[in-house]
Amino acid sequence: MTCEVTIGTFNILDPVFAERHKQPQGLNSQGRSNWDSRGPRLITCIKNSNLDVICLQEVSEVSKKYFEKFTQDTYVILWSKHQSRHDGVAILYKKDKFKHIAFKKFPSEGLCASYVDLQEKASKSVIRVASCHLLGGPAKGPVHSGKIQVDKYVSEVEKQESSQSYTLEAKIFAGDFNEANLQSEKFQALKGYYATDGSSMITEPDKNRKIDWIWVNSRGFLNQLKVVQEDNLSDHRLLATKLTLPIQNSDVPPNQSQPTDGSKIKRHPSSKTIKPLQSSVWQRFKAFFLNIFKAIADLFNRKR
């Protein structure tokens, strides 16, 4: 048996930033914010996506309340404000599918992030989902270094709290990384234990690049997931993936639990289900041929 969780990430383009930076997707014909018409379309997009968990960036307190008002029948929204800006990041999760276990904010200069621990009610599997928004452009000192930003948040997400008495079946990093180059040092801390589903979808159409990512550390596997969405809802596009987990039956709290072993996640570019590779195949193959060679050697020695 398996547990399936669909995850998305979307930088929604804050109305204040749209006016300040003259982003056409967020402006009307008079050059003012078009939130009155764009906001309802964003709500429709989120509802129609039917994703289990959605990480949002550039969410102000005003827009947080707006999303809360129009999605509260389906989603719970958790919000974390940027330390030096009016906006922040949010995580929406389906209240009928998940039990909320823990929520942690860790905003700092140069970036913003938070994570939530969720238990999938049917399987009892627990996942940790982090929504992050990292600064782009050249580093303006150590605080703004992309590598330091990611290293800091990976260490936070990987941390096993002393009070945590449950196993995490998946750790998910989703958000606007402001980085298109997978070879960038910004991603080095993730590459050891995290993987993407391999999607090359453009998430920032104006610049023809992908800077929004979903990274997962789990024993499960990933499938690319396409979401129908309008053009020009934001200067970004909604990116989504599907995570399939083997059911571990890890109720909260168990008597004994250990953190996940950091095995790399399997991925497949199509929507077809694939089975995880068995680690013992090579050992069995090797042992089979060693036994054959040994039998031949014994026969040869007896003939001599």
Domain that holds residue 194: 2-246
**Crossing angle, helix 35-49 and helix 61-71, to 10 degrees?**
50
- The tally of domains found in the chain comes to 1
Sorted by sequence, the CB contacts under 8 Å of residue 106 that are 6+ apart come out as 80, 113, 114, 153, 156
Does residue 288 lie within any of the structural domains? no
Residue 40 within a domain: yes
**Average pLDDT rounded to a whole number, residues 229-240:** 97
Mean pLDDT in residue range 20-41: 96
C-alpha to C-alpha distance for 136 and 236, rounded to whole angstroms: 14
Single pTM value for the model: 0.80
Q: Do the domain assignments include residue 283?
A: no
Domain presence at residue 169: yes
Task: Give the C-alpha separation, 112 to 143, whole Å.
Answer: 12
Q: Look over the chain and give the mean of its residue pLDDT values, rounded to a whole number.
A: 82
> Quick one: DSSP state of residue 83?
S
For the residues of 188-241, what is the DSSP string, one character each?
Answer: HHHHTT-B-------SBGGGTB--EEEEEEESSEEEEE-----TTSSSS--EEE
Residue 253 lies in a domain: no
pLDDT over 90 (residue 36): yes
- Residue 21 CA to residue 235 CA, distance in Å, equals 11
Instruction: Say what the pLDDT of residue 126 is.
Output: 95
Q: Is residue 254 part of a domain?
A: no
Q: Which of 94, 100, 39, 96 is nearest to 64 (CA)?
A: 39
Is the pLDDT at 257 greater than 50? The verdict is no
CATH of the domain at 179: 3.60.10.10
Query: What is the b/e burial string over 129-159, where b = at least 16 CB atoms within 10 angstroms of the residue's CB?
Result: bbbbbbbeeeeeeeebbbebbbbbbbeebbe
Query: In the predicted model, is pLDDT for residue 271 greater than 70?
Result: no
Does some domain include residue 155? yes
- Residue 16 inside a domain? The answer is yes
- Per-residue confidence band for 110, with pLDDT thresholds at 50, 70 and 90: low
